[in-house]
Amino acid sequence: MTPHSYAAFPSLHDVYLEDSWVLGVFPAEHEVTFRIEAVLTAAHPHYQPPKPGEQYCYALADLQIRSTAPIDHQLSGARPAVDRSGTSDLGNIDTFRPTGPSTWELRGDWGAVTVQHPHVDLALRGTTP
């Protein structure tokens, strides 16, 4: 996998967001939290070989983005997709990139978020079932 601009945030160094599943988006004025099934790369300290039938190592996590400035979030209102196993998700974080000197943008089927001077934390909650 090639390096991504979001690797500028230490907690995302060994995570691949484009194939991580968004399970929920929880916006507030100065923060937004994404509940995700995060793809951990082989370099991540919690990496384990993928489970049978899976391409990646997934871990349940909360991706929290905070700012002292109000965060602009525009949720799409799209209904979750449901796979054959009955698991639902809101797609992926397709992009997380800088759009200016201190402005970052996240986009996906779930909507869009624009944040000034983001503080980013990824808290693992355990492996996926």
Taking only the tens place, the pLDDT of each residue in 83-114 is 777 778 899 999 999 999 999 999 999 999 99
pLDDT for the residue numbered 18: 94
- Structural domain harbouring 35: 5-127
| 8 A C-beta contact, residue 20 and residue 1 | no
- Global pTM value: 0.91
β-pair type (31-40, 57-66): antiparallel
Rounded CA gap, 25 and 33, in Å? Answer: 6
Residue 129 in this model has a pLDDT that exceeds 60? no
16-68 per-position pLDDT tens digit: 999 999 999 999 999 999 999 999 999 999 999 999 989 999 999 999 999 99
Number of domains present in the structure of the chain:
1
Q: Count CB neighbours of 106 within 10 A.
A: 25
